[in-house]
């Protein structure tokens, strides 16, 4: 397509920022959750020489990994390479990632003394790598960089359970039996991750995302009592950049999500985009391709991408997956999806 | 409470059947998914002497295990002890349950020949134990007995993946790349489980439930193209008893669930009962206490039970958990929940 010199100049704000602010864009910007990760051969090459936590704490490696998917696919934003569990480590919890297992906290929080024993968290002092990596990325590329953190409820799940779980029995028992203790933990975590997000904004992140991966384990009653207010508390500490709230189970919670007070809502892949738009009202959204659909033939990937863009409409939509990219994802599936987004033009 | 001899006599139909038909009941009937299971000491005692598959195929053991929770708690229905994967075994797939692992099919279905090679399934000939166990239970108790089966999509997940999965990559690849093959598999499974449900009705099951545990892995588009029509096909083969459809992720799919054409919809615990009632319209529902909330103090369990009953209203509600009971559930939590349901009286 040739450039029409009579058409209005695009504003100077980057595409992703315009969409995150709810503006109409000529096409949606695109980035993928976990785009800096194991499906990329160049990531696996680096990862084979370093362990995961070392990479997170090394700003040079973290920025390099952040830039890899931008070079290969031209995503409209990078998401800084880090992990949601690092603030818990900075607050004094021993954290292990062992081969073939998920994360482990060998000494989970169980008592009032455990919760009160969490150390104060100063992001620049206690977890400087993500901010340094953001600054390095900003020096290396014009592509906007996103910061992120885990939501208080999701972090509380890992901190109390000691690792991943299907049922979160220990977490929920504390919530039921010691709601004041659980609330104090959420408050501590909300303040910590809120400050961490703000530090990332100050380091140059164009926007930040709060990941409430496990909020979908809760009933609506518990979600509204614990998870959403804690996420709102965290986000209330962030100024100067759009704040995205993502939960892996937005579907049943659509009528309540806006209690978080985020600027943008990330949708998982089980939610029909048109229904989500109707339920959420006039607020920007992000999502929501099934990450496993990237394994489909390229033409089918493209059809699915276009269907989501059409349903989302021209205003305030950031294209993304509905969950993190699967580590075995074929590169051609990613290419098909990104191309389909970039080929789109609104009328 | 004394009996008021001037009040109308209750109809002769059992409480659960009245609720499943959508009638108003004085209180909701109550049963729990997986109530015949490992949280019961008397189950563990039997289980320690037999392996799981042997118990499923032994009608005496299966009926005994079905009756155990009825004796201890007076549930308003028993659910026959069996497993959703047995029809796949009967159709020729090797099935293993190994300690500490989930179910395994060492030879999953991958090709057209694999799908076409599934044997014809005649329930009374190929899987007689559940029907025999229903007859034994009926001889032993007046408490109504429920039959069940796995929904075609959920069975197709296990049959193609070869076991449980977080992402169902193999299943979805077949769905994307070979939709005709996947559809033929769903059709075969739908007819098999439909016939299995009908055989259970003919053996005396008062109602049957189709479990679509993994439908929630799908986008709305794939759900409506594959999972819901396949469930509808299965249920269309069942006559003479109410048919309950349960999926573990009803929330995002509420506007579409009735495409299944079931008589009753089972709700998971993330769905707000009042919102589900509004979305589903005039159809009986079942659910939906968070199974982990049975770990809460008894007074809190009871409060949560009452809140769900009040939200569901007096007509067409079967009280249940929103998912199967957790194997570590404390007995006093079950007692508190069942008591709270039984203590309820509508006006």
pLDDT exceeds 50 at position A5: no
Q: CA nearest B255 in A: which residue? A: A275
Answer yes or no: is A12 within a domain.
no
Q: Is B176's CB within 8 Å of A222's CB?
A: no
Dist. CA B206–CA B29, nearest whole Å: 13
Answer yes or no: is A118 within a domain.
yes
- ipTM surpasses 0.95: no
Which of B221, B270, B295 is facing A252, going by the closest CB pair? B270
> Residue A83 catalytic?
yes
How far off is chain A from B289, nearest CA to CA, in Å? 8
The pLDDT tens digits for A7-28 are: 444 558 999 999 999 999 999 9
The pLDDT tens digits for B101-146 are: 889 999 999 999 999 999 999 999 999 999 999 999 999 999 999 9
Dist. CA A261–CA A236, nearest whole Å: 8
Average pLDDT, integer, range B315-338: 98
How far off is chain A from B256, nearest CA to CA, in Å? 11
- pLDDT interval class at B44 (50, 70, 90): very high
> Residue B76 catalytic?
no
Tell me the C-alpha to C-alpha distance, in Å, between residue A214 and each of A31, A218, A225, A248, A261: 22, 8, 15, 7, 19
The pLDDT tens digits for A309-336 are: 999 999 999 999 999 999 999 999 999 9
Q: Is B251's CB within 8 Å of A255's CB?
A: no
pLDDT exceeds 60 at position A342: yes
Q: Residue B280: beta bridge partners?
A: none
| Domain around A156 | 20-343
Answer yes or no: is B3 within a domain.
no
> Residue B47 catalytic?
yes
Q: Count how many Cα atoms sit within 13 Å of the Cα of residue A329 in the half-sphere of its side chain.
A: 30
pLDDT exceeds 60 at position B321: yes
The percent of residues above 90 in pLDDT, for chain B, comes to 94
Please report the DSSP string for B256-297 in residue order.
Answer: TGGGG--SEEE--TTS-HHHHHHHH-SS-EEEEE-GGGGGS-
Answer yes or no: is A116 within a domain.
yes
- Catalytic residue, candidates A39, A43, A73, A158: A158
Answer yes or no: is B22 within a domain.
no
pTM for the complete prediction?
Answer: 0.95
Q: Is B251's CB within 8 Å of A252's CB?
A: yes
Q: Is B173's CB within 8 Å of A295's CB?
A: yes
Q: Is A295's CB within 8 Å of B169's CB?
A: yes
More confident residue, B230 or B98: B230
Q: Is A297's CB within 8 Å of B250's CB?
A: no
Best of A176, A223, A268 to substitute, by most chain B Cβ atoms within 10 angstroms, is A176
- Catalytic residue, candidates B38, B72, B110, B135: B38
SS3 category, B137: helix
SS3 category, B125: helix
Dist. CA B63–CA B82, nearest whole Å: 10
Answer yes or no: is B311 within a domain.
no
- pLDDT interval class at A71 (50, 70, 90): very high
pLDDT exceeds 50 at position A4: no
Determine whether A207 is exposed, middle or buried from the number of CB atoms within 10 Å of its CB (0-12, 13-18, 19+).
Answer: buried
The pLDDT tens digits for A162-203 are: 999 999 999 999 999 999 999 999 999 999 999 999 999 999
CATH at residue B61: 3.20.20.210
Best of A272, A275, A291, A328 to substitute, by most chain B Cβ atoms within 10 angstroms, is A272
Answer yes or no: is B241 within a domain.
yes
Q: What distance lies between CA A321 and its chain's CA centroid?
A: 11
**What is the pLDDT, as a whole number, of residue B10?**
52
Please report the DSSP string for B5-43 in residue order.
Answer: TTSPPPPSS-HHHHHHTT-B-SS--B--TT-SSTTSHHH
Which of B252, B297, B307 is facing A252, going by the closest CB pair? B252
Number of domains in chain B: 1
Please report the DSSP string for B212-241 in residue order.
Answer: ETTGGGS-HHHIIIIIHHHHHHHHTT--SS
Answer yes or no: is A14 within a domain.
no
Which of B176, B272, B292 is facing A168, going by the closest CB pair? B292
Whole-number average pLDDT of chain A: 95
**Lookup: tokens for B39:** 């949280």
The pLDDT tens digits for B211-233 are: 999 999 999 999 999 999 999 99
Q: Is A219's CB within 8 Å of B275's CB?
A: no
- Catalytic residue, candidates A27, A39, A73, A83: A83
Average pLDDT, integer, range A245-265: 95
> Residue B277 catalytic?
no
């Amino acid at each position: 397509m040739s450039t029409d010199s009579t058409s209005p100049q695009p504003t100077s704000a980057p595409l992703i920022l315009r969409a995150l602010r709810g503006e109409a864009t000529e096409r949606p910007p695109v980035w993928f959750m976990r785009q800096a990760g194991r499906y990329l051969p160049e990531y696996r090459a680096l990862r084979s020489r370093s362990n995961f936590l070392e990479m997170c704490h090394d700003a040079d490696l973290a920025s390099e990994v952040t830039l890899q998917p931008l070079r290969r696919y031209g995503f409209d934003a990078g998401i800084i390479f880090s992990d949601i569990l690092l603030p818990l480590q900075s607050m004094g919890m021993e954290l292990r990632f062992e081969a073939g297992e998920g994360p482990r906290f060998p000494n989970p929080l169980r008592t009032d003394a455990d919760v009160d024993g969490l150390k104060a968290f100063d992001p620049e002092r206690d977890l400087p790598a993500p901010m340094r990596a953001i600054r390095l990325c900003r020096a290396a590329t014009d592509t906007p960089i996103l910061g992120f953190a885990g939501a208080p409820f999701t972090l509380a799940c890992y901190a109390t359970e000691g690792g991943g779980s299907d049922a979160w029995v220990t977490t929920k028992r504390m919530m039921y039996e010691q709601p004041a203790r659980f609330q104090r933990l959420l408050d501590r975590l909300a303040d910590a991750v809120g400050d961490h997000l703000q530090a990332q904004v100050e380091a140059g992140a164009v926007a930040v995302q709060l990941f409430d991966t496990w909020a979908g384990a809760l009933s609506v009653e518990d979600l509204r009592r614990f998870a959403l207010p804690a996420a709102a508390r965290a986000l209330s500490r962030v100024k100067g950049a759009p704040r995205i709230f993502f939960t892996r189970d937005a579907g049943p919670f659509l009528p309540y999500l806006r209690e978080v007070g985020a600027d943008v809502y990330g949708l998982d892949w089980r939610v029909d985009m048109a229904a989500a738009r109707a339920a959420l009202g006039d607020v920007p959204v992000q999502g929501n391709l099934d990450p496993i659909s990237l394994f489909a033939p390229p033409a089918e990937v493209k059809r699915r991408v276009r269907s989501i863009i059409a349903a989302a409409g021209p205003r305030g939509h950031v294209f993304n997956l509905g969950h993190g990219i699967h580590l075995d994802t074929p590169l051609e599936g990613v290419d098909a999806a990104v191309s389909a987004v970039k080929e789109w033009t609104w009328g």
